[in-house]
Amino acid sequence: MKVTVVGAGNVGATCADVLAYREIANEIILVDIKEGLAEGKALDIWQKSPINLYDSRTIGVTNDYSKTANSDVVVITSGLPRKPGMSRDDLIETNAGIVKSVTEQVIKYSPEATIIIVSNPLDVMTYQAHITSKMPRNKVMGMAGILDTARYRAFLAEALNVSPKDIQAVLMGGHGDTMVPLPRYTTVGGIPVTELIDKDKLDAIIERTKFGGGELVKLMGTSAWYAPGSAAAQMVEAIVRDQKRVFPVCVKLEGEYGIDDCYLGVPVILGKGGIEKVIELDLNAEEKALVENSRQHVKEVMAVLDKLN
Ligand SMILES: NC(=O)c1ccc[n+]([C@@H]2O[C@H](COP(=O)([O-])OP(=O)(O)OC[C@H]3O[C@@H](n4cnc5c(N)ncnc54)[C@H](O)[C@@H]3O)[C@@H](O)[C@H]2O)c1
Ligand SMILES: O=C(O)C[C@H](O)C(=O)O
pLDDT tens-digit map of 29-59: 999 999 999 999 999 999 999 999 999 999 9
**Does the model's pTM come out above 0.95?**
yes
Output the pLDDT for position 34. Answer: 98
Of 4, 5, 11, the residue with max ligand 1 atoms within 8 A of its CB, to mutate for a pocket test, comes to 11
Angstrom CA distances, 77 to 95, 102, 176, 278, 281, stand at: 10, 10, 17, 24, 30
Output the pLDDT for position 225. Answer: 98
Output the pLDDT for position 35. Answer: 98
Domain 145-308 has CATH 3.90.110.10: yes
Residue 249 annotated as part of some ligand binding site: no
Could you tell me the pLDDT band of residue 2, with boundaries at 50, 70 and 90?
very high
The ipTM (two decimal places) reads 0.99
* Alpha carbon nearest to ligand 2 atom 8, residue: 213
Let me know if 175 is a catalytic residue: yes
Extract the runs of DSSP E, i.e. beta strands, from the chain: 2-6, 27-32, 57-62, 73-76, 114-117, 140-142, 167-168, 171-172, 180-181, 187-188, 191-192, 245-254, 260-271, 274-278
CATH superfamily of the 2-142 domain: NAD(P)-binding Rossmann-like Domain (3.40.50.720)
* Alpha carbon nearest to ligand 2 atom 4, residue: 223
- Distance (Å, rounded) from C-alpha 147 to C-alpha 64? 30
Could you tell me the pLDDT band of residue 146, with boundaries at 50, 70 and 90?
very high
Could you tell me the pLDDT band of residue 162, with boundaries at 50, 70 and 90?
very high
Output the pLDDT for position 228. Answer: 98
Average pLDDT rounded to a whole number, residues 96-116: 98
Least distant ligand from the CA of 144: 1
pLDDT, mean over the chain? 98
Query: Helix, strand, coil % (nearest 5) of the chain?
Result: 50, 20, 30
Least distant ligand from the CA of 265: 1
Residue 151 annotated as part of some ligand binding site: yes
Output the pLDDT for position 192. Answer: 98
Query: Is ligand 1 within 6 A of the CB of residue 267?
Result: no
pLDDT tens-digit map of 264-277: 999 999 999 999 99
Could you tell me the pLDDT band of residue 82, with boundaries at 50, 70 and 90?
very high
Output the pLDDT for position 73. Answer: 98
pLDDT tens-digit map of 197-256: 999 999 999 999 999 999 999 999 999 999 999 999 999 999 999 999 999 999 999 999
Q: 214 CA distance to ligand 2 centroid (A)?
A: 7
Task: Find, among 145, 162, 160, 164, the residue nearest to 194 by Cα.
Answer: 160
Output the pLDDT for position 226. Answer: 98
Could you tell me the pLDDT band of residue 62, with boundaries at 50, 70 and 90?
very high
Q: What are the domain boundaries of the chain?
A: 2-142, 145-308
